[in-house]
Amino acid sequence: MEPVPQPDLVKNSSGIEDIKCKNEIIAHLIEKLPEKIPKKSKDRILYFLKALNRDTIDMTTLKVLAFRGIPEEVKSLRGIVWRLLLNYLPNKATKWIETINENKKQYESFREELIIKPQLSMEGEKSNGPEVTEHVVDHPLSVSQDSVWAQFHKDREIWEEIEKDVKRTRNEIALFVRAIKDEDSAKHWERLMRQAELKKSELNAEDKENYIETHADVLSRILFIHAKLNPGIKYVQGMNEILAVLYFVFFDTDDPILTETLESDLFFCFQSIMGEIRDRFCRTLDSEDQGIKGRIQYLADLLKEHDRELFNHLEYYKINPQFYALKWIMLLLCQDFPIYETARIWDTLLSDPERYEFLNYVCLAMLQYIKEDIMEGDFTDAMQALQRFPNDIDVRIILNKANAFVKEDPIYQNYVGDHF
């Protein structure tokens, strides 16, 4: 049964009548509630609003609600809840505005400090006469460790690696091709398409001069700053896909405050996720329990426990679980479903009381879903089934299967129900 927080909201037949909103963001949510919502969805939306609009938000209550899915009918709701689940927003709603404004200033300082825009550095010296002779002290070809230009060229390598991956990110949606300013998308679509297809260095002179900033540029900038602040790992392919899911969700807002702080909010929430899963991207930890190989082995052990027949079949054909589970676990399934379905899965993963433990059971459910295709064929057929998981299914089918595995686990007692 759904928990029902006691709120400062009064529900009537049309929705919400009397409101004591804790901040402008919640007030905007209430103001923009759609008029026509199915009753079941309306009830769930009310549960979320009640949970959010408290002096101190009960995070357990919020996690229980989000674990079963965050309603999509209200713009900003999922993004707000994710910000809380990622510990970006404090559980005191009255502190939200202060927090996001402070973080916006912090992010702007990162941009100013870490994104280098070098210029020729000149220094003057007097000769015997009155003239002052200028000479270059920092040249574009300098290899000095103190040279801004030398650092700029090193940074270009990171930028180019990120750009290469960003151009391939979620091409099934137009979001990252679009201009930051909507009016530019309508007026300059052909130029935007050229920008999407070519590297910046390959654009013609006119397109370079009239370059239009896009959401892909914001994606790249966040990844670059993250790489500079995390020199031990820097940027690794796949981080772009994780950030893209956050971007897709946070972009779905009509709140002027959240629109203004979109980039900084994304950066800090991405930092939060990467702080939790960074071991999966660290090669020196590959063989440790917390590294990617250890996590894949844990999934294999679960499969052996819950479905020995399928496990033995994969063992017979010597199909290493890394062949199929590496990207599932490393990237939190963000490449295996349409992005809106991935967002639904992440509702559950981010509110997991054991943070990402439930991911193992989702992967186990995926294996069982395609079991017949794996069992009926040979090695090649099995590999095709494993590496091309059908992405046109309702993910609630998979989540319900995963739900069944943990139904008796006391940790998940209040989280799972009969169905998602």
CA pair distance 222, 271, nearest whole angstrom:
10
At residue 127, the pLDDT reads 45
- Both structure tokens of 111: 């941009």
Where are the strands (E) in 15-131, listed by range? 15-19, 121-126
Q: Which residues of 314-351 are buried (b: 16+ CB within 10 A; e: fewer)?
A: beeeebebeebbbbbbbbbbbbbbebebbbbbbbbbbb
CA pair distance 412, 417, nearest whole angstrom:
9
Largest CA distance in the chain: 92
Pair 33, 12: CB distance under 8 Å: no
Where do the domains of the chain lie? 9-74, 121-176+214-280, 283-412
At residue 6, the pLDDT reads 38
Mean pLDDT per 10-residue segment, the chain (420 residues) = 41 50 92 85 91 94 96 95 98 96 98 80 48 49 64 88 95 93 89 91 91 96 97 93 98 96 98 92 68 90 96 94 93 95 97 94 96 92 92 92 91 76
Residue with tokens 């400090």: 113
Pair 399, 345: CB distance under 8 Å: yes
At residue 12, the pLDDT reads 40
Mean confidence (pLDDT) of the chain: 87
Q: How many contiguous H segments (helices) and E segments (strands) does the chain have?
A: 21, 4
Kindly report, residue by residue over 190-226, the tens digit of the pLDDT.
999 999 998 888 999 999 999 999 999 999 999 999 9
Question: For residue 7, how far is the Cα from the chain centroid?
Answer: 30
Q: Which residues of 384-399 are buried (b: 16+ CB within 10 A; e: fewer)?
A: ebbeebeeeeebbebb
State which CATH number among 3.30.70.120, 1.10.472.80, 3.30.1490.20, 3.40.1410.10 fits the domain covering 283-412. 1.10.472.80
At residue 122, the pLDDT reads 45
